[in-house]
Amino acid sequence: MSGPHHVPVLLDRVVALLAPALGHDGAVLVDATLGLGGHTEAVLERCPRARVVGIDRDPQALATSRERLASYGERFTGVHAVYDEIPDVLADLGLTGHEGVAGVLFDLGVSSMQLDLPERGFAYAVDAPLDMRMGSAGPTAADVLNTYSAAELARVLKEYGEERMARRIADAVVRERAREPFTTSGRLVALLYDVIPAPARRTGGHPAKRTFQALRMEVNDELAVLRRAIPAAIDAIGVGGRVVVESYHSLEDRLVKRAFADATRSTVPDDLPFVPEGAEPSYRLITRGAEQAAPAEIEENPRAASVRLRAVERTRSSRPNTSSGKGAE
């Protein structure tokens, strides 16, 4: 767990963005994607007056983090939930109300532990059951491959994996599953090598990367969950509170960008020469566009190459109607 590949992406920058909101006694950070607890551990270490509520849908990740963070005692609370359930989690812990929480952090995508456990089926480098569920409920990646129509599969691969060969791959999957259903990753990887032409395989990384990403996002309904979770997080923070999001997929980043833009947009007409008192936006962006990792970090941790970091802060007490998710479509 201490290996360099488990160091969270942009860890120092994430903590620096959260720290101003976590400087008072009892300040609560919601780590909405707890994973192995790397971000939470850094916050607990560097922000000694804060406590963290860590959410994860993966029971194994939650158990690992609870063990890792046990020395922090009551400053850490682990909760088994999906991160679009933030309002329910906060209500159960008695953390709703006027002041809200001080911060919410999202580090999206698959965790290091999930990639490192072959039986979870997230990694294409080893032959393993095609599961890919971040929790224990719902259809698996094998179910998607064996039951979706060619058109549905092509949509998933194109939309979530940005795979140019989506229809060709989908047609091949449908042909092959008629002979024998898909059960393990090795057979899918072999199919992808056969279907994707050699020139296309020489660019864009491993030929299975985009397909595996698309299947994972479909199995876990990741975009729909995120579409509900970001507005809920924005609504949950109190004045001075911050929401920080690390995205690794263009669709995720676009959704976050749109939700943040909605929260920070002025409702005053453009032709009005001044902003009336009390009409200012209730939130402000605290990153200029999407921040990216430096070349040195990318060299040490290749996962950092695709990260896009955005953050927003609540500046006043009146809240826009973000809870419906409007603007995050």
Q: Which residue ranges make up the annotated binding site for S-adenosyl-L-methionine?
A: 37-39, 56, 83, 107, 114
Q: C-alpha angle 128/134/138, rounded to 5°?
A: 90
Task: Locate 238 and state its tokens.
Answer: 């109190």
| Contact in structure between 110 and 216 (CB atoms under 8 Å) | yes
Name the binding residues: 37-39, 56, 83, 107, 114
Beta-strand pair 237-247/101-107: parallel
Sheet architecture: strand order including 76-80: 76-80, 50-56, 27-31, 101-107, 237-247, 308-314, 283-285
Task: Locate 105 and state its tokens.
Answer: 């952090």
Q: By three-state DSSP, how is residue 297 classified?
A: helix
User: Could you say which DSSP state residue 269 is in?
Assistant: -
Beta-strand pair 76-80/101-107: unpaired
Q: How far is CA 138 from CA 7, 131, 234, in A?
A: 30, 10, 28
